[in-house]
């Protein structure tokens, strides 16, 4: 059982950092806190995954004839990413003690790459809209998206295979820097195409239908995604140089809670809420509504 440390009333400013450090160590070393925090992450991811699944079903029921649109794929990938995270944190005791250590990296980093692929779909969608509005070719955008993702996954698999053969601290460092670089690329992608689309919509006439709503939608999602990928980049770089900021260990539950809440759970929940609008129903060619 975790003992609650009482804060003395005569605590000085010089003693406060030591008290905070002591509390931090007690929480991190407590199996009760570890279980509570990681199960909380499991529940949060399961909730976000369920919301994405419900929204996917609603979209499919609304427009089943459209096939796998970008919107449907985006929600399906959200279901997968958050579902995998929920399973990983639900079985955290087994996951963080796996051997060889590369298996821990695979289970923690693979959802991060899937998260990258999921949310860069939005950047791709915005890029297509921007290019179409500017009468620019769009045929190479999807090819570029697939190629970039393919290269990233191949490099990451090579890093995992090397770590499987030789658990090298240098390669582990390179792997973390690589994840940070991928996150930085995603942040730039949102800033580039989200920003371009935002300013393009801003120049539309005031009376344009849905202009204000779409402007707020693009601006909000761009800000959320740019911020979460930038935070991921910063924290992963920090963990590469400082072992006390490592996210692949069982005894850093508070850091994991803060990190995953800021870079995945809250951004996913906010984006799903902002993009909650269902596509309009398709009206039959034989049906003529009364005006």
Q: Please state the rounded mean pLDDT for residues 77-88.
A: 96
pLDDT of residue 290: 38
DSSP single-letter state for residue 66: G
pLDDT at 207: 60
Dist CA 120 CA 104 (whole Å): 25
User: What are the pLDDT digits (tens) for 3-51?
Assistant: 445 545 455 555 545 555 666 677 777 888 889 999 999 999 999 999 9
Residue 286 has pLDDT above 50, yes or no: no
Greatest Cα pair distance, the chain, in angstroms, is: 81
Q: Answer yes or no: are the C-beta atoms of 265 and 43 closer than 8 Å.
A: no
Residues 141 and 127: beta-carbon distance below 8 Å: yes
Q: What local confidence, expressed as pLDDT, does residue 18 receive?
A: 56
Q: Which CATH superfamily is domain 30-275 in?
A: Rhodopsin 7-helix transmembrane proteins (1.20.1070.10)
Residue 214 Cα to chain centre, angstroms = 22
Q: What is the pLDDT of residue 265?
A: 96
DSSP conformation class of 278: P
The domain segmentation of the chain, as residue ranges, is: 30-275
Q: For 276-285, which contacts have Cβ atoms below 8 Å and span 24 or more sequence positions?
A: 276/55, 278/58, 278/59, 278/62, 279/59, 279/62, 279/63, 279/66, 279/69, 279/71, 281/62, 281/63, 282/63, 282/65, 282/66
What pLDDT, on a 0 to 100 scale, did the predictor assign at position 176?
93
- 46/95 Cα distance (integer angstroms): 17
Q: What is the pLDDT of residue 1?
A: 45
């Amino acid at each position: 059982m975790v003992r609650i440390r009482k804060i003395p009333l005569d605590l000085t400013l010089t003693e406060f950092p030591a008290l905070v450090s002591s509390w931090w160590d007690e929480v991190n070393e407590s199996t009760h806190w570890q279980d509570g925090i990681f199960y909380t992450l499991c529940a949060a991811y399961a909730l976000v995954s369920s919301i994405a699944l419900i929204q996917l079903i609603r979209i499919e029921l609304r427009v089943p004839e459209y096939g796998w649109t970008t919107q449907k794929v985006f929600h399906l990938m959200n279901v997968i990413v958050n579902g995998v995270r929920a399973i990983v944190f639900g079985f955290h005791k087994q996951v963080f003690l796996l051997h060889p250590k590369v298996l821990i990296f695979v289970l923690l980093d693979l959802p991060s790459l899937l998260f990258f692929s999921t949310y860069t779909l939005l950047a791709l969608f915005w890029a297509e809209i921007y290019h179409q509005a500017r009468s620019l070719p769009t045929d190479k955008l999807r090819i570029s998206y697939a190629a970039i993702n393919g290269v990233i996954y191949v490099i990451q698999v090579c890093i995992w295979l090397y770590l499987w053969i030789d658990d090298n601290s240098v390669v582990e460092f390179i792997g973390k820097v690589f994840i940070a670089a991928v996150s930085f690329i995603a942040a730039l992608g949102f800033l580039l195409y989200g920003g371009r689309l935002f300013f393009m919509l801003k120049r539309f006439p005031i009376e344009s239908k849905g202009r204000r709503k779409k402007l707020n939608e693009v601006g909000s999602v761009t800000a959320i995604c740019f911020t979460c990928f930038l935070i991921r980049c910063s924290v992963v770089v920090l963990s590469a140089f400082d072992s006390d900021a490592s996210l692949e260990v069982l005894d850093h539950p508070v850091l994991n809670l803060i990190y995953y809440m800021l870079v995945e759970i809250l951004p996913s929940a906010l984006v799903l809420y902002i993009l909650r609008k269902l596509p309009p129903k398709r009206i039959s060619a034989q049906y003529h509504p009364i005006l």
